[in-house]
Structure 1
Amino acid sequence: MPAWLTSILVAIATTLATQLLVGPRLEARNRRIQAAHQIRDKFLDNLLLVMTAGEQVRVLDLPGSAASPAQHMRAVLGSEKKRWLGNLDDATQVLVDIAPQLALTYPGIRLPARMARQYGSSFNANPSLGSTAIEYAVAVRLVWLSNLPLARRLELVTALSGTIKEILYARPSRRAFRFVSNLAEVNHLIAEAIESVAKSDSVAGEDGD
């Protein structure tokens, strides 16, 4: 067999083997990467919605922000406030629903054991980005469903969302530089939020008795 024909057959065989063996794996990998980005984008969209809707309602409720509005404007502002609060409720629900999927897209990013003992949360002795995202989503949802005053709920959910955003969506270089301090801050806020919810429930129980 001529050498040139052998070369052509080898090239054809190599191409076919690559398409049959490597091609499906690359396609599957690309689908997983795309799905991970879609989950992260969806989580970020709802996280930002919590932040913006919370700030909108807080500004609307500031003393003097709508001083002595006309009856029509009071009705309009009341309707807008109700809409924003509905959006915020929907966003916290989506966050807690998809947080486990988001956690799978951050499989191995966690604190070293020595730092984990110092900065870990009361719920997770060795926190990772994924577990922290789940704790954040649960805390935000619990706060929103709690008996806390609206102003306090808005304060907690916007503070939590701003801090977790710096952890999950910061540039890798910025995340590495501030990861420990941001993780410590978000764990502190999560603990504060859970404690506030527990206190509000106990007070509500005493009032009911």
Structure 2
Amino acid sequence: MPNTVWTLLVAAVTAVVTALAVGLFVTPRMEARRKRLGEVHTARDTFGAHMMRIISASSLLQRIQLPLADDPGWTPVMRERLAGERERWLQQLDDATRWLIDNVATYAGSWPMSHLIQFAVDYAGNVRMVVLSEREEDTKLELLLALTVPVQRQFFGWPWSRARHALADRRAFAETLALIGGEPTAP
């Protein structure tokens, strides 16, 4: 009987010590890790959302132009409303690229391969510089789309699409960077 009591006592003390050790040392680390991973995934999702906003706002700005001043089908009120919408879309581009450059360390560093990190960093810096540049609006929109579409596909496209277009997307991105920098592109 004393052996049974001793065995139960040792088992109870072991369980209490184990529970305390896990509660004091393991659980806080796991909670902190879960929080960090949640923040990384939130930043990645926001990265993708801002790229989609750049694509959609750029496409809308390209497709919906202000009418000519003498166009009889447009009233001054409608011209003003459309101008306001276009200004709002331009502000969305500014806000999206500002977020991309301000948070690049959070989302870019979350990918395991250095070429993906560099791809995200190069993208964020270049789209922000395009928005800040003194280029014509049409040129800015073309450059934003040319930079964003291949990057969006490589980070958020279907896996088969990523693999299928990996080289073409890298080439298109590099050619757009060369165009921005004024370098001649190789055939």
TM-score range, shorter chain: 0.7 to 0.9
How much has 1:173 moved relative to structure 2? 5.7
Of 139, 147, 152, which residue of structure 1 is paired with 2:126?
139
Q: Which residue of 2 aligns with 1:104?
A: 109
Number of aligned residues: 177
TM-score, reference length from structure 1: 0.74
TM-score relative to the length of structure 2: 0.82
Residue in structure 2 matched with residue 120 of structure 1 by the alignment: none
The 3-state SS of whatever aligns with 1:7 is helix
| Aligned residue number for residue 88 of structure 1 | 93
* Partner of residue 182 from structure 1, selected from 147, 163, 169: 169
Q: Are the aligned partners of 1:58 and 1:151 in contact in 2 as well (CA < 8 Å)?
A: yes
Which of 150, 156, 159 is matched with 2:146 structurally?
A: 159
Deviation at 1:30, TM superposition (A): 0.8
Distance 1:161 1:15, change over 3 A: same
Contact conserved, 2:101 with 2:124, CA < 8 A, in 1?
yes
Which one of the candidate residues 17, 21, 28 is aligned to 2:21? 17
Q: How large is the Cα RMSD of the aligned pairs?
A: 2.5
Closer, same or farther: CA 37–135 of 1 in aligned 2, 3 Å? same
Q: Work out the CA distance in 2 between the residues paired with 1:76 and 1:62.
A: 10
Contact 2:131 2:140 in 1 (8 A): yes
Q: 1:23 to 1:67 in 2, by over 3 A?
A: farther
8 Å contact from structure 2 (residues 43, 106) kept in 1: yes
Deviation at residue 36 of structure 1 after TM alignment: 0.7
Letter of the 1:46 partner, please give it. Answer: H
How far is 1:94 from its partner? 1.6
Q: Is the 1:136–1:190 Cα contact (8 Å) retained in structure 2?
A: no
Say whether the 8 Å CA contact 1:58–1:154 is kept in structure 2: yes
Does residue 28 of structure 1 match 2:19?
no
The SS at the match of 2:103 is: helix
**Higher-Rg member (1/2):** 2
1: CA distance, partners of 2:6 / 2:139: 83
8 Å contact kept, 2:66–2:83:
no
Match of residue 5, structure 1, among 9, 21, 29: 9
Indicate which of 47, 50, 55 corresponds to 2:59: 55
